[in-house]
């Protein structure tokens, strides 16, 4: 049950694009397409922005996109906006009804 | 509207017990596995426990195995987390969440309830 690996922080200027990686193992990210990405603003509950590795829920901006290759999932945010400044977590199903989260990435919009 | 509302968080002494509750509404509760996820102050998210829709299967993170018990009452649309032998490292905001996303109910989370364990 080791946490998925994410960079601790990323930053970008408004209008730019950033990518956050999430590296797991053959037991989680590599075995299942059940990878979600959550956005969490300070003091708030996490909100899902990507599910099943690359799908966007209704109402989530199309500036958010994601993919998965092997044991690594990636989240890309294009056209950065001030409101995107938040913590981002990946989450993968790990079999036998267990889940594992990434350590989280703090996005700073410069 | 799909909604999860946690309650029961408190300040407790190390070694004591506490029960968290989560009230679900807006979806067919019995059809879905539910989870508890926690977040220590200033730290990341940690999956704690899952329970199947029927309540017949439950599983725990190694960090809480043997101390925490998840349960549910489908007649009341409630899920619970009984925590015993609490430690300082259990201090966290505890979220009730449906982690498996589906188009009907999404992946709702509650607002969280704070558990503080004093040593």
Confidence at residue A25, expressed as pLDDT on a 0 to 100 scale? 97
pLDDT digits (tens, 9 = 90+) for A2-27: 899 999 999 999 999 999 999 999 99
In a mutagenesis test of the B interface, which of A92, A99, A102 is the best target, namely the one with the most B β-carbons within 10 Å? A99
pLDDT digits (tens, 9 = 90+) for B65-89: 999 999 999 999 999 999 999 999 9
Asked if the model's pLDDT at residue B7 lies above 90, the reply is yes
Asked if the model's pLDDT at residue B96 lies above 90, the reply is yes
Nearest chain A Cα distance for residue B48, angstroms: 9
Confidence at residue B6, expressed as pLDDT on a 0 to 100 scale? 98
Confidence at residue B32, expressed as pLDDT on a 0 to 100 scale? 96
- Which of the four pLDDT bands, split at 50, 70 and 90, describes residue A56? very high
Residue A76 pairs in a beta bridge with: A19, A65
Instruction: State the DSSP string of chain A.
Output: -PPBB--SEEEE-TT--EEEEEE--TTTTTT-S-EEEEEE-TTS--EEEEBTTTB--TTS-TTEEEEEETTEEEEEE-S--GGG-EEEEEEEE-STT-EEEB--EEEEE-
Contacts of A89 in chain B (CB under 8 A): 44-45
Contacts of B97 in chain A (CB under 8 A): 46
Identify the closest residue of chain A to B114 by CA–CA distance: A43
**Mean pLDDT lowest among A12-16, A38-42, B103-107:** B103-107
- What is the rounded distance in angstroms from the CA atom of residue B83 to the CA atom of residue B21? 11
- Which of the four pLDDT bands, split at 50, 70 and 90, describes residue B119? confident
- Which of the four pLDDT bands, split at 50, 70 and 90, describes residue B90? very high
Confidence at residue B117, expressed as pLDDT on a 0 to 100 scale? 98
Mean pLDDT of A41-67: 97
How many Cα atoms within 13 Å fall on the side-chain side of residue A31?
11
Cβ(B50)–Cβ(A99) under 8 Å? yes
Nearest chain A Cα distance for residue B84, angstroms: 21
Nearest chain B Cα distance for residue A25, angstroms: 17
Asked if the model's pLDDT at residue B22 lies above 90, the reply is yes
Asked if the model's pLDDT at residue B17 lies above 90, the reply is yes
Confidence at residue B11, expressed as pLDDT on a 0 to 100 scale? 98
Asked if the model's pLDDT at residue A1 lies above 80, the reply is no
CB < 8 Å from A in window 63-102 of B: 95, 97, 99-101
B54 in reach of chain A (CB within 8 A):
no
* Interface contact B109-A34, CB threshold 8 A: no
Confidence at residue B44, expressed as pLDDT on a 0 to 100 scale? 97
Chain A residues within 8 A (CB-CB) of chain B?
1, 3, 34, 36, 38, 40, 45-48, 51-52, 57, 87, 89, 91, 93, 96-104
At residue B5's C-alpha, the angle toward residues B2 and B9, to 5°, is 160
Cβ(B117)–Cβ(B93) under 8 Å? no
Mean pLDDT of B13-42: 97
Nearest chain A Cα distance for residue B112, angstroms: 7
Mean pLDDT of A55-76: 97
């Amino acid at each position: 049950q080791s946490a998925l690996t994410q960079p601790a922080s990323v930053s970008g200027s408004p209008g730019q694009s950033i990518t956050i990686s999430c590296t797991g193992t053959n037991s989680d990210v590599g075995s299942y397409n059940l990878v979600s990405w959550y956005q969490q603003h300070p003091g708030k509950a996490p909100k899902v922005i990507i599910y099943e590795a690359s799908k966007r829920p209704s109402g989530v901006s199309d500036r958010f996109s994601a993919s998965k290759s092997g044991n690594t999932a990636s989240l890309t945010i294009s056209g950065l906006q001030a409101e995107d400044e938040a913590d981002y977590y990946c989450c993968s199903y790990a079999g036998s009804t267990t889940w594992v989260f990434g350590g989280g990435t703090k996005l700073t919009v410069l | 509207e799909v909604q999860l509302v946690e309650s029961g968080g408190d300040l407790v002494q190390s070694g004591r017990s506490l029960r968290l509750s989560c009230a679900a509404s807006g979806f067919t509760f019995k059809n879905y596995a539910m989870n508890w996820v926690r977040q220590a102050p200033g730290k990341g998210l940690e999956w704690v426990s899952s329970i199947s829709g029927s309540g017949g299967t439950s599983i725990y993170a190694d960090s809480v195995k043997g101390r925490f018990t998840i349960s549910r009452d489908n007649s009341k649309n409630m899920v619970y987390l009984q925590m015993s032998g609490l430690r300082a490292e259990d201090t966290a905001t505890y979220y009730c969440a449906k982690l498996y996303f589906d188009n009907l109910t999404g992946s709702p989370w509650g607002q969280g309830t704070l558990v503080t364990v004093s040593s």
